[in-house]
Amino acid sequence: MRRMPDAAEVSLIKKCQEGREDAFRELMEKYQRRVYWIAYNMLSNYDTAREIAQEAFIRVFRNIGRFDVKKNFYTWLYQITVNLCIDRMRKLSHGKTVDIDGIGGLADPTPTRDPAESGERTETRARVHLAL
């Protein structure tokens, strides 16, 4: 069963849609802790969670005019926050690199004198690098 928005929240959202900054500030104060904790629980970083919370409210501010007051505001805000966290995680994972020289003994600190063994090791490193 879906929870209907209460009259006070609908009134507050309508005031936000009219451009009233005081109403938006009140809406932010009501939800800022929850938004922050959603972001922190997903990202495990205080500063990043703070940035995400700020960005979530910026998105709400920009798009509040399109919000349907018959819907649950918190569900909308939650989804915005989660999507921002997922985007941040994707962005962070794209820049990660792995040092293949230290993987599983593939890199031998003592050079080998056997060219065949050296060639095999080089080929194995290349395969691992391609797989990554």
Listed by start position, the domains of the chain span: 7-94, 100-131
Residue ranges in the chain whose pLDDT is less than 50: 1, 98, 102-112, 126, 128-132
CA distance 103 to 93: 19
What pLDDT, on a 0 to 100 scale, did the predictor assign at position 131? 45
d(C-alpha 92, C-alpha 100), whole Å: 20
Second-level CATH architecture of 7-94: Orthogonal Bundle (1.10)
Residues 76-106 pLDDT 10s: 999 999 999 999 999 988 766 545 554 444 4
The pTM is what?
Answer: 0.68
**18 CB neighbour count, 10 Å cutoff:** 10
